[in-house]
Amino acid sequence: MSTAISSAIPDVVPTADASPSETPAQPNAILGTYKRPAPLFVRGEGVRLFDDTGKSYLDMVAGIAVVSLGHGDPGVARVIQDALATGLIHTSNLYRTAPGERLAAWLVQHSFASKVFFCNSGAEANEAAFKFARRWARAQGHEEKSGIVSLRGAFHGRLPGTLAATDRPSYRQPFRPLMPGVQIVERDLDDLRAALDPETVAAVIVEPIQGEGGVRVLEPSFLRALRELTHERDILLILDEIQCGLGRTGHLFAYEGVGVVPDMVTIAKPMANGLPMGAVLVNEPVAGAMQPGDHGTTFGGGPLVASVAEHVVQRLAEPSLLEHVREMGCWLHGELTALMQRTGKIRAIRGMGFMWGIDTHEPAAAIIGRAFDSGLLLVSAGEHTLRLLPPLIMSQDELREALGLLEAALQGE
């Protein structure tokens, strides 16, 4: 029997007792917040990882939507080397450094935003966005306007504020009390109309495609109506593009494909192709409410990570890459539909671009375990949902190879 990689959901996805290579996982000194299969990854190249026996694995996880340019990218390696050669890895945010300033200017130029705050992860970006929303409301004199609303199925992180906005009881229960003032509402406009009290709610946070919650693409018409509603009620709209942003939908930002202009966008995962990096993009009214001392971070936006991110975001914005993602997304839709009809093992598929959810009859963990054994990395998004998050550089031939291995895993081979 195989131990599946249970993604970021180790306590929800059932896992079996033994590793893919039938040997018990090595005991180690890392706190047991994840169950990992036994093989030790020692090398990466393009869309493949290699373990210490030389076995290769085709990577349809990309470090959970992080390594969008693939493993061992020469451009990323060169930028890291060039950045190291300056001797400036970190100076703190007490001082100016050029890479972060250039990166912020680029992000502002290529988005709705007027300012950017840098941090180190997705959850940190969302926590910061919640603080900015409250600061914005207070700056307008609304003392009681501190509420944050998120949606059914949402995942926004595992820190106290973001966990309060995350709709996973098993993640939340052991850590109560979470941040007060956060409400999870159905993905329904009538429910939102009832919940969005202009006197008490500062912001709504939404993933344009819910990732951990099962890869649910929110309808553009729903997002546009929500934008209108939040405008009418003077409530901020935060889009969490930590998983679906920076090219994964075939647009640099997912909101561009939806026709909605948010007040804040949070990004992280692929920003520096694997170095820890996050950001909050904010519009002028939010930026105007923030004063020196209102928020801070020791590491966020340091010169090394910012140099890498500057290179990565420019490559993720290349029209040919975005077109590849859109084209392959359409092709994947057709292939996955055919796979569903051919195998009878799939209940539904959802997604776009390089982000797909596959609902299966069998528990996802069992399929992920068999795929792992055959050299294919998959991740789940719920107990009966597989998630495909390939590096954006994955070619059609490599995707075809992955689908072949996926079919075999679905068939129990």
Ligand X SMILES: Cc1ncc(COP(=O)(O)O)c(C=O)c1O
| Residues at the contact surface with ligand X, assessed by CB under 6 A | 8, 64, 121-123, 126, 155-157, 207, 211-212, 240, 242-243, 268
- 228's CB contacts (< 8 A; 6+ apart) are none
| Residue closest to ligand X when measured from CB atoms | 122
Report CA-CA distances (Å) from 365 to 97, 98, 229, 301, 343. Answer: 45, 45, 40, 36, 18
C-alpha to C-alpha distance for 21 and 1, rounded to whole angstroms: 9
Judged by CB, which is closer to ligand X: 37, or 161?
161
Find the Cα–Cα–Cα–Cα dihedral 352, 357, 361, 366, rounded to 10°: 140
Instruction: Please report how close the Cβ of residue 209 comes to ligand X at its closest, in angstroms.
Output: 9
Instruction: Please report how close the Cβ of residue 126 comes to ligand X at its closest, in angstroms.
Output: 6
**Taking the alpha carbons of 282, 284, 289, 290 in that order, is the dihedral positive or negative?**
positive
Instruction: Please report how close the Cβ of residue 225 comes to ligand X at its closest, in angstroms.
Output: 21
Instruction: Please report how close the Cβ of residue 215 comes to ligand X at its closest, in angstroms.
Output: 11
C-alpha to C-alpha distance for 244 and 351, rounded to whole angstroms: 10
Q: Which amino acid is at 25?
A: A
The b-or-e profile of 225-253 (16+ CB within 10 A means b, else e) is ebbebbeeeebbbbbbbbbbbbbbbbbbb
User: Nearest CA to 368 among 157, 69, 57?
Assistant: 57
DSSP label at residue 273 = B
Judged by CB, which is closer to ligand X: 126, or 307?
126
Instruction: Please report how close the Cβ of residue 211 comes to ligand X at its closest, in angstroms.
Output: 4
C-alpha to C-alpha distance for 360 and 279, rounded to whole angstroms: 34
Judged by CB, which is closer to ligand X: 167, or 212?
212
User: Nearest CA to 229 among 264, 201, 208?
Assistant: 201
C-alpha to C-alpha distance for 307 and 310, rounded to whole angstroms: 5
Instruction: Please report how close the Cβ of residue 395 comes to ligand X at its closest, in angstroms.
Output: 25
Instruction: Please report how close the Cβ of residue 207 comes to ligand X at its closest, in angstroms.
Output: 5
Judged by CB, which is closer to ligand X: 137, or 239?
239
Instruction: Please report how close the Cβ of residue 242 comes to ligand X at its closest, in angstroms.
Output: 4
Q: Residue length, the chain? A: 413
Q: What are residue 57's phi and psi, to 5 degrees?
A: -130, 125
Judged by CB, which is closer to ligand X: 59, or 212?
212
Judged by CB, which is closer to ligand X: 308, or 405?
308
Strands of 218-288, DSSP E = 236-240, 264-267, 278-282
Judged by CB, which is closer to ligand X: 164, or 340?
164
Work out whether strand 236-240 and strand 209-210 pair parallel, antiparallel, or are unpaired: unpaired
Judged by CB, which is closer to ligand X: 118, or 155?
155
Judged by CB, which is closer to ligand X: 104, or 381?
381
Instruction: Please report how close the Cβ of residue 240 comes to ligand X at its closest, in angstroms.
Output: 5
> 123 with 276: CB under 8 angstroms?
no
Judged by CB, which is closer to ligand X: 20, or 300?
300
C-alpha to C-alpha distance for 352 and 333, rounded to whole angstroms: 8
Instruction: Please report how close the Cβ of residue 157 comes to ligand X at its closest, in angstroms.
Output: 4
C-alpha to C-alpha distance for 328 and 244, rounded to whole angstroms: 16
